[in-house]
Amino acid sequence: MVDNITMFIALILSIAGLALVGTMAILCFTKAFSIVFLGEPRSEKAKEVKEDTTVSFIVPMSILALFTLLIGILPQYVFAFMLKPVSVFVGEINCEALQFIPLMQVVSLTAFVIIAAVAVLFAVKYVFKNKNEKYCTWGCGYNKPTSRMQYSASSYASPFITMLTPLFKKVVDIKKPKTIFPKDAHFEMHMEDVEEAYFLKPFIKSVEKFFAKFEKIQNGNIQQYITYGLVFLALALVCVVILG
């Protein structure tokens, strides 16, 4: 049981915070993964990318990925492994921390069950031996998917970010098509962090403005640089003479 009300409020807020972080992680990683790896290539350059299959590139990454995966599916061993080094710093490990080991065993078991069951189900799909027809993505009449029709990263995050409106600034650059035969039109939208839009950018601009005044001094004119040297030498000479 929780001892006092402050503790209770703190716990409730932190568990809600953790849940929020978890869901934001889903949002973030589905966005990152799908924009980079899924769908149609998003640019001409991306279309021509050849994956690097050099062993020395892949093996180190695979080792890191493997360990990350192991922490996820065998947390109880990782936890037990960490206990000793942690106890060096904090003394004896609190028993309350140890009560989570059974929970981790369940997590581990669950992970293996998921992997096994997915494998079985995936195999079953092939046992059914239904025919698979290949066709382009359903496009509501535009049956030629291009990267321009795909959802972009900004649009993907937009509903969530709009909820946090005070923290972000929506920057819309729009040029509407005019006349009967419009020559060009343009639409662009992206989100800017509030501190970037209202604090960092004005700050950087003012700094730039200040230092622009010194541009005259460093203007790439060699004669002028030689003059600086001469003036410095003259000053140095005066200093030496006066200060003896």
From candidates 68, 132, 179, 219, binder to other proteins by CB under 8 A: 132
171: phi then psi, degrees, rounded to nearest 5 = -105, 115
Which is nearer to other proteins, 32 or 204 (by Cβ)?
Answer: 32
One-letter amino acid of 157: A
Which is nearer to other proteins, 16 or 80 (by Cβ)?
Answer: 16
Binding segment toward other proteins, per CB under 8 A, in 36-44, 188-196, 206-214, 236-244 = 36-44
> Is residue 211 involved in binding other proteins (CB under 8 A)?
no
CA-CA distance, 44 to 49, in Å (whole number)? 9
The distance from CA 158 to its chain's CA centroid, rounded to whole angstroms, is 15
CA-CA distance, 38 to 36, in Å (whole number)? 6
Between the two ends of the chain, the Cα-to-Cα distance in Å is 81
One-letter amino acid of 142: Y
From candidates 10, 12, 59, 64, binder to other proteins by CB under 8 A: 12
Which is nearer to other proteins, 120 or 239 (by Cβ)?
Answer: 120
H-helix or E-strand containing 150?
none
Residue partners of 43: CB distance under 8 A and separation at least 6: 147
Supply the angle between the helices 153-163 and 5-37 in degrees, to the nearest 10.
Answer: 160
Strand partners of residue 171: 190
From candidates 51, 133, 184, 208, binder to other proteins by CB under 8 A: 133
> Is residue 200 involved in binding other proteins (CB under 8 A)?
no
From candidates 19, 63, 86, 167, binder to other proteins by CB under 8 A: 19
Residue partners of 166: CB distance under 8 A and separation at least 6: 194
> Is residue 49 involved in binding other proteins (CB under 8 A)?
no
Interface mask (CB under 8 A) for other proteins, residues 69-108, using x and -?
------------------------------xx-xx--xx-
**96 is written with which tokens?**
């309350």
Q: How far apart are CB 22 and other proteins at their closest, in Å?
A: 6
Q: How far apart are CB 121 and other proteins at their closest, in Å?
A: 4
**183 is written with which tokens?**
């020559």
Chain positions contacting other proteins, by CB under 8 A: 1-2, 4-5, 8-9, 11-12, 15-20, 22-24, 26-27, 29-31, 33-35, 37-40, 99-100, 102-103, 106-107, 110, 113-114, 117-118, 121-122, 125, 128, 130-140, 145, 147, 149-151, 155-160, 163
